[in-house]
Structure 1
Amino acid sequence: MNRVNSSSVLRAREMTKIGMLSVIAFILMYFQFPIAFVAPSFMQIDISDLPVLIGAFTMGPVYGIIIAALKNILALIFKGTITAGVGELSNFIVSSTFAVVASVFYRRHRTYKGAMLSLVVGVIAMTTLAMFSNYFVVFPLYGKVMPMEAIIEMGRAITPRIDGLFSMMIFSVLPFNLIKGFITSAVMMLVYKKISPIFKN
């Protein structure tokens, strides 16, 4: 009976941690800012990947995926727009990739240098996948809501080097995700040691 009770308590604690981090991640999605010199206005930076990373680093990669999924489900429910689902899909792909790759690497290199390197590897993996997912999935879905030429024109207004979808990936999506990833990584390095004991099993 004690084992059953202990197991139930542990599951309840895990669910509480997941719920807490998911809600914090969702709230952080409201604090967005554009980087007008790189990306169109519909692409905005936030640090909502931070709780996803914390969950993945302290509890495991699968928990990072769950938290990334929950924050985007909450966003889909409470922040629905005419492009409902498209931005959330993109965010989930990018966020979960970042968390999984970085946390798996960190589990094999548990040092300060390893943590920094794991975040760099996570940012590179996230950015690479973001370019593929945006090129083949996300932007084509946006193209069903607004003309693709209008989307390209928004990019061209930032830099004349953007003249099509591929160049949009190179000159907009690529730097956008690198900047977002490294900003989130910097905040992670600042706060992780202080708050990680709260969420470690």
Structure 2
Amino acid sequence: MNLGKLWEDARGHVEFVVVVIVIVAAIIALAVIAEKFLFKEKKSKRFKTRNIAVVGMLSAIALVLFLFEIPLPFAPSFYELDFSELPVLIGSFALGPVAGVVIELCKILLKLVIKGTTTAFVGDFANFIVGCSMVVPAAIIYHRFRTKKAALVSLVTGTAIMTVFGSVFNAFYLLPAFADLYGMPLDSIIAMGQEINGNINSVATLVLFAVVPFNLLKGAVLTILTMLLYKHISPIIKGH
């Protein structure tokens, strides 16, 4: 990927880039505050060299998973399923919500450098912010109680938050931003959904019949995989 071209694309959408920076900063601040109040006893261990290496490794795995996207029969082509949040969730369960946010952000930045963007940054930004809407609450709840039951509750809660937030965010910001950045009517995006599902005839129905099931499916698969894998992988991450 040509970094100069990536920079030119970013400069062409200054307002969008500013919004991205503000939201990224807000997410990082939330994760840092959560760790300060919930995990004070572990603060000295958070940023050991080993943890930095683990974050880098999990970011690389997340990037590989991010590059393999699965089209869904009930959603337009710009909604494709990937499991890149799996290493993010595992990292956040092992090291805390800040690590989860950093892994998620590194995944997006690495993807932009290696592959660029095909969605005028909208899809990449959406993946980060919506992914964090599951990862951060799940990590906070899990670290508050640290039991198997808490892990399940945290993942189910994270899925619910991701579904609600993702739906509202798509309806009021992402879909209009996507239409604006691509210079296409919002009706054209709705029509793409209608070709797949005749019940889609507005932004609200696009969200209801495509975005909601998309996030529920993704959250359910991530919940199952995290519950199956975390206990087996966490000793390796923590060096036990």
Q: TM-score scaled by structure 1?
A: 0.90
- Displacement over 3 Å in runs of 4+: none
Asked if residue 161 in structure 1 is aligned to residue 199 in structure 2, the reply is yes
Equivalent runs, 1:33-182 vs 2, <5 Å: 33-36=70-73, 38-144=74-180, 145=182, 146-182=184-220
Structure 2 residue runs without a partner (length 5+): 1-43
Partner of 1:193: 231
Name the aligned partner's letter for residue 190 of structure 1.
Answer: L
Deviations 1:36-74 (A, max 9, x none): 1x2111111011000110111111111111111110111
Q: CA deviation at 1:111?
A: 2.1
Distance 1:155 1:167 in 2: 9
Separation of aligned partners in 2, 1:62 and 1:17: 13
Question: What residue in structure 2 maps to residue 184 of structure 1?
Answer: 222
Q: Structure 1: how far apart are the matches of 2:65 and 2:209?
A: 26
Contact 2:91 2:99 in 1 (8 A): yes
Gaps of 5+ in 1: 1-6
Equivalent in 54, 64, 67 of residue 30 of structure 1? 67
Deviations 1:53-102 (A, max 9, x none): 01111111111111111101112222223423111110011111111111
Deviation at 1:109, TM superposition (A): 2.9
Q: Aligned partners of 1:15 and 1:106: how far apart in 2?
A: 21
Query: Separation in 1 of the partners of 2:130 and 2:48?
Result: 27
For residues 92-151 of structure 1, give each alpha carbon's deviation from its aligned partner in whole angstroms, at most 9, with x where no partner exists.
Answer: 111111111111111233222221111100100111111122122211121021332221
Partner of 1:12: 49
Alpha-carbon distance between aligned partners in 1 of 2:150 and 2:236, rounded to the nearest angstrom: 21
Paired amino acid for 2:208 = I
Q: Percent identity?
A: 44
SS state at 1:31 partner: coil
After superposition, the Cα gap between the structure-2 partners of 1:90 and 1:78, relative to the gap in structure 1 and judged at 3 Å, is same
Aligned equivalents of 2:72 and 2:118: distance in 1? Answer: 22
Aligned partner of residue 198 in structure 2, secondary structure: coil
Asked if the contact 2:108–2:124 (Cα under 8 Å) also holds between the matched residues in 1, the reply is yes
C-alpha distance in structure 2 between counterparts of 1:200 and 1:140, whole Å: 43
Residue 52 of structure 1 contacts residue 96 of structure 1 at CA under 8 Å; is this kept in 2?
no
Matched length: 193
1:196 CA displacement: 0.9
SS in 2 for 1:42: coil
Question: What code does the residue aligned with 1:197 have?
Answer: P
By how many angstroms is 1:184 displaced?
Answer: 1.2
Q: Going by fraction, where is helix more abundant, 1 or 2?
A: 2
Q: Give the deviation of 1:12 after TM superposition.
A: 2.0
| Residue type of the alignment partner of 2:54 | K
Give, as a single letter, the amino acid of the residue that structure 1 aligns with 2:136. V
- CA drift of 1:14 comes to 1.8
